[in-house]
Amino acid sequence: MKSEKGMTLLTTAVLVLIIASLVFAVVYYARIQLEKESLEDLKTNLLLVQAKIKTTEGEYILDKKEENLKGTKIADMLENQNIKQFIDNNQINIEEKEKKYYVLNQENLNELELQKIQLDEASYFVVEYNDAEVYYTKGFKYTDGNIYYSIKDIEKLGTEEQ
């Protein structure tokens, strides 16, 4: 009689566990890399908007004309649910007199020659022209579970990782 050699049940189970753990590790690593890429994309978009805002702010300082400021005053969009939720989630005070908060939609980004930046549906950039601070109303949910909205906070995330 021939001896049949094959894998035992125990060997098969160990092999399946090894393959499953390898697949889990690859998926986990891919998810982390995807999250890092989306963080970098958002940070790049925020920096591009910030650079344009600084240019626009310079034109405003020279001319003192409100029409130089692109976007819609945040006070005019308080009935928008996404804007209202953004204000509730952030520590910005829209009542401060020296602050000039404006909301930028996709049309405003196109006017600023930032067509390559595509906003998600029902999301906006909120800019403060005096400080050139830029916020993203949708925010970025990081692995720590917190949602970050401002360019300053998102830049800090990049330095904490390194």
Q: Would you state the pLDDT for residue 158? A: 61
With respect to residue 3, please indicate whether it lies within any of the assigned structural domains: no
With respect to residue 47, please indicate whether it lies within any of the assigned structural domains: yes
Report pLDDT digits (tens) over 6-52.
678 888 899 999 999 999 999 999 998 988 888 889 999 999 999 98
* Domain of 140, in residue numbers: 9-161
With respect to residue 144, please indicate whether it lies within any of the assigned structural domains: yes
Sheet of 125-128, strand order: 72-73, 101-104, 125-128, 133-141, 147-150
Distance CA 12, CA 10 (A): 5
Report pLDDT digits (tens) over 64-83.
666 668 888 888 888 888 88
| φ/ψ of residue 148, rounded to 5 | -110, 135
With respect to residue 48, please indicate whether it lies within any of the assigned structural domains: yes
The DSSP-derived string for the chain is: -PPP----HHHHHHHHHHHHHHHHHHHHHHHHHHHHHHHHHHHHHHHHHHHHHHHHHHHHHHH--GGGS-SEEGGGGTTSHHHHHHHHHS---TT-TT--EEEE-HHHHHHTT-TT--PPTT--EEEETTTTEEEEEEEEE-TTS-EEEEHHHHHHHHHHH-
With respect to residue 84, please indicate whether it lies within any of the assigned structural domains: yes
* Percentage, residues of the chain above pLDDT 70: 86
Which residue type sits at 101? Answer: Y
Average pLDDT, the chain: 84
With respect to residue 26, please indicate whether it lies within any of the assigned structural domains: yes
pTM exceeding 0.85: no
Q: Are 140 and 147 in contact (CB under 8 A)?
A: yes
Number of domains in the chain: 1
With respect to residue 2, please indicate whether it lies within any of the assigned structural domains: no
With respect to residue 38, please indicate whether it lies within any of the assigned structural domains: yes
